[in-house]
Amino acid sequence: MFFLLSKLLDFLLSPALWITGLLLAGLLWRRRRLLWAATVLLLFFTNSFLANEALLAWERPPVTLQQLGTGYDAGILLTGITDVQKSPHDRVYLGAGADRLLHTLWLYRAGRIRRIIISGGSGAAFDSVARTEAADLQILLRLAGVPRQAILLETRSRNTRENALFTKELLAQHPEIKRTVLITSAFHMRRAAGCFAKVGLQPAPFPAAYYSVDRRYTPASLLLPSEEPLRLWGVLLHEMAGYVVYKVLGYS
C-alpha cells in the first residue's frame, strides 16, 4: 500500500499538473484570477535560476576523494537509474542518475572501496520486469572489468527504506564488511542516509548525479523560461515530500 501511495504522490506533486489544472479551471469557469495564478506559477517554475538555487540548497555537497579517505570494505550503490521495462532486453538502458554507477566504478578503480553492493529490485508499480535494476547494473560493472566476486546484489527493495532494511540483512551475512560508502544521487542523499542510520548503519555519504550546476548569473538563466526547470521542480518536490513522509513515519 505504501509503495502505491508513493507512486500516487509522485503524480500529484507535479507543477505541470497544477498549472494545467488552474488553466483549465480558469477557462471553464471564466475566472481571471485562476488564469493569473497559472501564469505566475508557470513563470516561477520555468525559471532556471530559481530551480537551480532550490537544488543547491537541497542537494548534499560533493565529497572529494581526500575527504572520503580510504579503507572502505564496500560501496553501497542504490539503483533507480535504469529502465528495466524498455525493450529489447538484450541491453541496459541508463537514465538520469547514471553518475551513481560511474562514480561507484571510479571509487572501485581508485582503490577506495573493495567491493560493490548494488541495492535495488524493481520500481514498477504493476508490471513485471525481465531483470531487476541490480542485475542490470551488475552487467555493466562486469563489462567494465569488475570481477563477479567483488559484487553483491540485493534485489528485493522497491524504495529507499527497503534499500536500507535489505542491505542490512545482506551485510549480516558478510561480517567481513564493516566500513561502507553510500552512493546515491545528491538530491536523494538526505533521505537515503537517514534510512540507513535508522536501521543502525552509518555509511560514509558520497553524493553523485547532481541536478544543480554552479551558480551563474546570465540573462538566459535569470530571465528566459525553459521547460527543464519545470521537470527539475517535479523531481525536487517529490523528494522533499518523500523526506517529510519518511520522517513522519519514522523511516529516517
One CATH from 3.40.190.10, 3.40.50.620, 3.90.79.10, 3.20.20.10 for 65-208 = 3.40.50.620
Q: What is the pLDDT of residues 157-202, one digit of tens each?
A: 999 999 999 999 999 999 999 999 999 999 999 999 999 999 999 9
Residue 124 pLDDT: 59
Q: What is the pLDDT of residues 35-55, one digit of tens each?
A: 999 999 999 999 999 999 999
As beta bridge partners, residue 82 has: 94
Residue 49 pLDDT: 97
Give the residue carrying C-alpha cell 521547460. Answer: 227
Domain boundaries, the chain: 2-59+221-249, 65-208
Amino acid at 158: R
Confidence band for 6, pLDDT divided at 50, 70 and 90: low
Residue 89 pLDDT: 87
Residue 187 pLDDT: 98
- As a whole number, mean pLDDT of residues 212-240 equals 94
pLDDT over 60 at 1, yes or no: no
pLDDT over 70 at 114, yes or no: yes
Closest listed residue to residue 234, CA positions, set 27, 45, 39: 45
- As a whole number, mean pLDDT of residues 64-93 equals 94
Q: Classify strands 180-185 and 151-154 as parallel, antiparallel or unpaired.
A: unpaired
The edge-to-edge listing of strands for the beta sheet with 204-208 is: 151-154, 113-119, 72-78, 180-185, 204-208
Task: Give 156: exposed, middle or buried? Use CB within 10 Å, 0-12, 13-18, 19+.
Answer: middle
pLDDT over 90 at 58, yes or no: yes
Q: 178-205: buried (b, 16+ CB within 10 Å) or exposed (e) per residue? A: eebbbbbbbbbbbbbbbbbeebebebbb
Backbone angles phi and psi of 89, in degrees to 5: -95, 25
| Overall size of the chain counted in residues | 252
